[in-house]
Amino acid sequence: MFSYRHAFHAGSHADILKHLIAIQLLRYLQEKPGALSIVDTHAGAGLYNLQDGFAAISQESAGGIVRLKDYLASTGADVPPSIADYLACVAIENAPESTALYPGSPFILARLLRPQDRLRLFELHPNEIDILRGNINQLHCVKQVDVYSADGFSRLKGLLPPPSRRGLTLIDPSYEDKNDYRNLESCLEEALSRFATGCYAIWYPVIARRESIALPERLKAIAKAHQRAWLCAELRVENAPGERRLQASGMFVFNPPWTLRDHLKDALPILKKALGLDSGAAYTLQSSEA
């Protein structure tokens, strides 16, 4: 279970979709002054050097953040606000014009904390947790961030409902362990029973695996059972059956802000054009409100 290292995938097309949406969720929730409880159940290392180690070997960022920036620079096209916001979050970690460093979800969320907010990070990998702690310790907001070497799936329920009744949870498993699918569902059932109005964002891979194919419908069924609104966005960058690399991924959001759909309507066509590798590039945007 400890073979997954997110550095291999840092700055990939899947990270772009996930992080762009996470930022917009946080932005919306921060429009009200009340304290926010933010949980990242599967944190990873927090910050990645794209020019070194696993990230340099995989070069996934070449098809992700690097490709997106090149596309926008070469076309001079108008950049939708959510993409501009995402790029600004990545730029915080870098010198002008550089994309040497890529922030994982812990850094993206931590950098956006207001003084009244709190961020809790869970990570199980023995190496990743040490790197994560070292990275978080460098942030000025370190006192607002708790890092736990623990199972995010089982620990989430203990944090719900947050005292302020305002919360955002990102659930981003690696799905290498097929129990992740089952654990995700029971974690969500429990979370929604305790704190139905919280915002929950779940990243998932779109791959030819029974559990993965079934996941969006199962999440919709959970939303229906708990009478929750939902939004589901998928981005495919190529359609190359038989190739092992990840070609598509999705984000499923319970209790999405009403603004999210419009942001994604603007952003997804650009992401498809910028990151698409063949004629199979596509996106979908569904929601309970549509």
Q: Which residues bind ligand SAM (CB under 6 A)?
A: 4, 6, 18, 40-44, 104-105, 122-125, 128, 151-153, 172-174
How far the first Cα of the chain sits from its last, in Å, is: 38
- Work out how close the CB of 151 gets to ligand SAM at its nearest, in angstroms, rounded to a whole number: 4
Using the minimum distance from each CB to ligand SAM, give the nearer residue, 135 or 255: 135
- φ/ψ (deg, to 5) at 257: -65, 150
Is residue 157 within 8 Å of residue 187, measured between CB atoms?
yes
Using the minimum distance from each CB to ligand SAM, give the nearer residue, 49 or 288: 49
Q: 131: alpha, beta or left, given left = phi > 0 and alpha = psi -120 to 50? A: alpha
Give the pairing type, strands 282-287 and 145-148: unpaired
- Work out how close the CB of 211 gets to ligand SAM at its nearest, in angstroms, rounded to a whole number: 15
Question: Is 172 an annotated catalytic residue?
Answer: yes
- Work out how close the CB of 182 gets to ligand SAM at its nearest, in angstroms, rounded to a whole number: 12
Using the minimum distance from each CB to ligand SAM, give the nearer residue, 44 or 216: 44
Contact partners, residue 88, CB within 8 Å, separation at least 6: none
Residue with the shortest CB distance to ligand SAM: 104
Is residue 288 within 8 Å of residue 240, measured between CB atoms?
no
Nearest to 178 by CA among 1, 55, 33, 57: 1
Distance from C-alpha of 103 to C-alpha of 7, rounded to nearest angstrom: 10
Using the minimum distance from each CB to ligand SAM, give the nearer residue, 151 or 185: 151
Classified as helix, coil or strand, 276 is: coil
Distance from C-alpha of 145 to C-alpha of 142, rounded to nearest angstrom: 5
- φ/ψ (deg, to 5) at 212: -70, -40
Indicate which residue of 15, 40, 117, 172 is catalytic. 172
Using the minimum distance from each CB to ligand SAM, give the nearer residue, 118 or 125: 125
- Work out how close the CB of 129 gets to ligand SAM at its nearest, in angstroms, rounded to a whole number: 8
- Work out how close the CB of 61 gets to ligand SAM at its nearest, in angstroms, rounded to a whole number: 13
Using the minimum distance from each CB to ligand SAM, give the nearer residue, 153 or 200: 153
- Could you tell me the two tokens for 27? 């932005």
Residue type, 109: L
Is residue 173 within 8 Å of residue 186, measured between CB atoms?
no
- Work out how close the CB of 141 gets to ligand SAM at its nearest, in angstroms, rounded to a whole number: 17
Distance from C-alpha of 244 to C-alpha of 221, rounded to nearest angstrom: 29
Catalytic sites, residue numbers: 172
